[in-house]
Copies of this chain bind each other. A is one copy, B any other.
Amino acid sequence: MTPWDSFLTEQDRAVLTRGRFGRRMGFGRRPAVVVIDAQRYMVGESGNDAAWPSSCGEVGRQAVACIARVVRAAQARAVPCFFTRFELDPEGTDIGVYGLKRDLLHSPHWCLAGTPGAQLVPELVPGPHDIVFVKKKPSGFHGTPLLGYLLDRQIDTVVIVGGATSNCIRATVFDASSYNLRAIVPQEAVFDRIPISHAISLFDMDRQFADVVPLQQVLDHLDMRQDESATP
């Protein structure tokens, strides 16, 4: 059962069947992992989330453990990992219209450049094949060199992990599939601060733009690649 099954009506299921939505994309030939905003401000700290204004709380911390498994599995097979960090200038020069929807929060626990909140979570350690870069907008592709990095490595499949599911994951999935890259989302490795937004975003992505799959399936795929490359 998927995380969204319980939210659908019979009428919804009939609509999906009629339109033949939600086939499987599957993995292509060459994957990369894109880790979206796995930063301290996104996951706060246990017992003290009230001090972290954008923390996704316990679900975020659990997802980080899953993200770390994906990253380590990729690194073991030289599958490149790209880490975005969402970071804003404390003076507000680069927040743009987002500053009209959110207050610029003057907190060391938000995503301001130079604060602890903006750091990658310590569980994730970029390796020699990996690149970390800053983004200013939800999608990991928007205003960043990510697409060029992927093309240079002839990547055709992106495993997208991190958070939040309904914001930056969703925007990154839209862009990936719009560039005709296959998008795979291991469901335990993405997280959101609003449970229903998380569940319905997974559903919406899986229906049209990405394969939302159990974490184990992604780990198995990466493991299998290792076995293949070991075969003469």
The interface of chain A, by Cβ under 8 A from chain B, is: 7-9, 12, 15-16, 18-26, 50, 53-54, 89, 91, 93-94, 96-98, 100-103, 105, 128-129, 131, 136-139, 142-149, 151-152, 154, 156, 166-167, 170-171, 174-175, 177-183, 193-197, 200-201, 203-204, 207-209
Bound-state CA distance A20–B193 (Å) is 13
Enumerate chain B residues within 8 angstroms of A24, measured Cβ to Cβ: 100
Contact of A156 among B103, B143, B154, B166 (CB under 8 A): B154
Quickly give the copy total for this chain: 4
Residue on B with the closest CB to A151? B180
Chain B CB within 10 A, most for which of A50, A179, A193: A179
Enumerate chain B residues within 8 angstroms of A138, measured Cβ to Cβ: 174, 178, 208-209
Enumerate chain B residues within 8 angstroms of A12, measured Cβ to Cβ: 194-196
Chain B CB within 10 A, most for which of A20, A26, A129: A20
- Asked whether A207 and B20 contact (CB < 8 A) given A178-B138, A180-B151, the answer is no
Bound-state CA distance A7–B197 (Å) is 10
Bound-state CA distance A148–B143 (Å) is 8
Enumerate chain B residues within 8 angstroms of A177, measured Cβ to Cβ: 97-98, 101, 137
Contact of A102 among B23, B143, B148, B197 (CB under 8 A): B23
Q: Is the CB of A167 within 8 A of B208?
A: yes
Bound-state CA distance A152–B195 (Å) is 32
